[in-house]
Structure 1
Amino acid sequence: MAPHSYSIAPVQSELNMTLYNKEVYGGRGTNGVTTLVNRGPIGTTWVFSWPVTDGPAGADANVVGHLQGTGVQVATYPDYMWHYSLGLVFGQGSRFNGSTLQIQGTSKINGEWSIVGGTGELAMAKGTVRRTEVSYTGNIRISELNIHVLYTPM
């Protein structure tokens, strides 16, 4: 009888990190556009590519990736709510260069999204992203992203 070969699945890893994103709604450096403006109370849609840094905005913060995706307004009462479909694409200068986290969920500006998948080193990711507004000045919003993820390194 021939021996059977098998492999043992890798163990999951846990990662907690804090990153920051910068949203520019108009003027120089705009990084999101409205693609559909609904005349009703919901349905406005926008597409964006927000830079993600390893520290708050400033000269010493390094861009480690981009949050790229869409947002659709799904409610106005009792609060403005948006449904997001996002990819956090890690780039050069990041420990996870070339990997992604797939993120989605319905939330307010200060809310939580689900991590529903990942690629590269972050394969089979699941977890949460808590987004908290740090500042909103003029047409620029800076948000803190507290990321907690379990993944299976490949």
Structure 2
Amino acid sequence: MASYTISPVQSELKMTLYNKEVYAGAGINGVTVINKEPMGTTWVFSWPVTDGPGTNANIVGHLQGTGVQVANTPNYVWHYSLGLVFGDKRFNGSTLQISGTSQINGEWSIVGGTGELSMAKGTVTRTEITNTGNTRISELKIHAFYTPMNRTNVSGTTGCKFEKA
């Protein structure tokens, strides 16, 4: 007989974080892997995510993924496939899976999560704070709902019997 516990249906997450993109020089954290004109340029990156915009901010994780240029309009449009991998004490090892098409100031969808943030759904609003030289700092306003998973309380067998066909 199986034993189980019922977890809360959903929890809400609201947080403001910051990411730092460095395109060239010391501290580069993204590279172009396909360079196509007028669109199709693809790059991969691992941007540090911090709890504040300044140099004394703490790194709480990394945005890791790819970006593909999907429109060649006056304001370039990119499609992103990202994983926000947390490394801080609260969500250590948990991830938010993020996807979407946006310009620099735009919104992405949270389409899933792992660990403490299992089955997350929500949005990330990205706003450029500074862009100087080869470095951009953006504010990330995260609003998500997730279902905390208690993986340690499931035990036993289902009592199913398998038979040969």
TM-score normalised by L of structure 2: 0.86
Match of 2:93 in 1: 98
Q: Could you tell me how far 1:77 is from its partner in structure 2?
A: 1.8
> Aligned pair in 2 of structure 1 residues 6, 54: CA closer, same or farther (>3 Å)?
closer
Structure-2 residue corresponding to 1:43: 40
Task: Give the equivalent residue in structure 2 for 1:120.
Answer: 115
User: 5+ unaligned residues in a row in structure 1: which ranges?
Assistant: none
The partner residue of 1:76 within 69, 72, 76 is 72
1:26 and 1:139 in contact (8 A); partners too: yes
- What RMSD in Å do the two structures reach over aligned CA positions? 1.6
Report which of the two structures shows the higher radius of gyration computed on alpha carbons. 2
Corresponding position of 2:51: 54
Aligned counterparts of 1:45 and 1:57: Cα–Cα separation in 2: 29
Contact 1:65–1:94 (CA under 8 A) maintained in structure 2: no
Residue correspondences, number: 149
Alignment of 1:140 onto 2:135: yes
Contact 1:57 1:142 in 2 (8 A): no
CA deviation string 1:23-76 (max 9, x = no partner):
0000000000000001x31100000000000011222x1000000000000001
1:14 partnered with 2:12: yes
Structure 1 Cα separation of the partners of residues 93 and 4 of structure 2: 29
| TM-score of the superposed pair, with normalisation by structure 1 | 0.92
